[in-house]
Amino acid sequence: MEKDPEFKLKEELKKLEWEFSMLFEISNAMRTTLKLDQILYIILTALTSHEGLGFNRAMLFLVNEKESVLEGIMGIGPHTAEEAGKIWHALSESKMTLEDFISSYDTFKKDPDSMLNQIVKGIKIPLREDMGILALTILEGMTFEITTQEARKSVDPVIQRNLNTDFFVTVPLKAKDKVVGAILVDNVFNKKPITKSAIKMLTMFASHAGLAIENSRLYEETVYLSNTDWLTKLWNYGKFHQHLSYEISRAKIHKTPLSLIMIDVDNFKHYNDTLGHTKGDDALRKLAAVLKAKSRKNDTAARYGGEEFGVIMPSTSKENARAFAERLRMEIEALFADDEALEPAYRLTISCGIASYPGDAESEGDLISRADTALYGAKHSGKNNTCLYSKDVKGNTSKRG
């Protein structure tokens, strides 16, 4: 028996009410954070939850403009989709705050069973027209519905094999006038057809998601720039102190050593006065590049001020820090050794002072003060030196070659 028009209208209004309510909840959740990884998690849980859009799997890819590729960032499903359902059900019934929802991301991050997430992260697609549907989604900025066998022929076989998907939909993530990424959804497990209504909802959702992603990127870029020295692109004075405080706290908890190297560029004033500030800036950039390249992943290299730099070295003894400083000192000496614009005695070199936690100091201020004292000793013992802090720094200088 066919439903009467009034009943059908009520059903349609009920469906629209649910759709807008869901979009409202999702938009609210995305506004609770500006951290990109949390926003991506919100997007994908909303897509896979039965309280949300209910797809079996959802995968998100972002454009890497520098390399002109589309990179896989995150994937949720199948077992994580069940968890997503619980989250959005609790959220819709006000049993979970948005803050609780965000904190659930930490559990997902540590989930060793999320194979889909690992597979998606390994995908990198050049942005060319011959690279399949995902690339075309970005290049043409339009939705693609792969819902027939004929449409499947245009799918990159590598993507088909890696994701083990038959029929799916891709939708671009747009922010203002550019495409910043793409979402791929499928129902690979329950084989439920992806309807036009679901695609319409997905497209509406993607417009919110694209703006949220772009806002997050702009925020993270602003935060990065506020913590970065404009000239050298190393961390700045403020970030240096923040990192040092954090690393000392970690060293106390884990009972591990921590070394601090303070570095000063020798002869820099003479270099600037003789060759000009443009050359001086260029020299600092070159030195910073060496410092960044030689530092380990967990080290913090920063411009402390003027021609002074600092390197925080977690889990590093004073002697190991000294070995690093000496390698750095010799490389900088070699970098400027052929500068014929200056006499050898005035060519740029560096002096290094080292102090360690807990042997030399137990607080941030004392550690900086002791490393500065050692640096003072290095400068006054002929420059181009590495000096370890002690009560008598003159007895701890070293100079090679």
* DSSP 3-state of 232: coil
Q: How far is CA 56 from the centre of its chain?
A: 28
Run of H or E residues at 219: helix 196-226
How many helices and strands in the chain, by DSSP H and E?
Answer: 14, 12
Q: Do 322 and 388 meet the contact criterion of CB atoms below 8 Å apart?
A: yes
Question: Which of these is catalytic: 129, 307, 331, 362?
Answer: 307
Run of H or E residues at 137: helix 133-140
132-152 as b/e, with b when 16 or more CB fall inside 10 Å?
Answer: bbbbbbbeeeebbebbeeeee
Q: Cβ contacts of residue 283 below 8 Å, gap of 6+?
A: 265, 268, 271, 336, 348
Q: Do 61 and 69 meet the contact criterion of CB atoms below 8 Å apart?
A: no
Q: Is 343 noted as a catalytic residue in this protein? A: no
Question: Torsion angle, CA of 139/140/142/147, rounded to 10 degrees?
Answer: -80
Amino acid at 330: M
Tokens standing for residue 111: 């989930």
Q: Do 61 and 134 meet the contact criterion of CB atoms below 8 Å apart?
A: yes
Whole-angstrom distance, CA of residue 218 vs CA of residue 212:
10
Q: How many residues does this entry show for the chain?
A: 401
At 193, give phi and psi (nearest 5°): -60, 145
* DSSP 3-state of 304: strand
Give the active site residues: 307
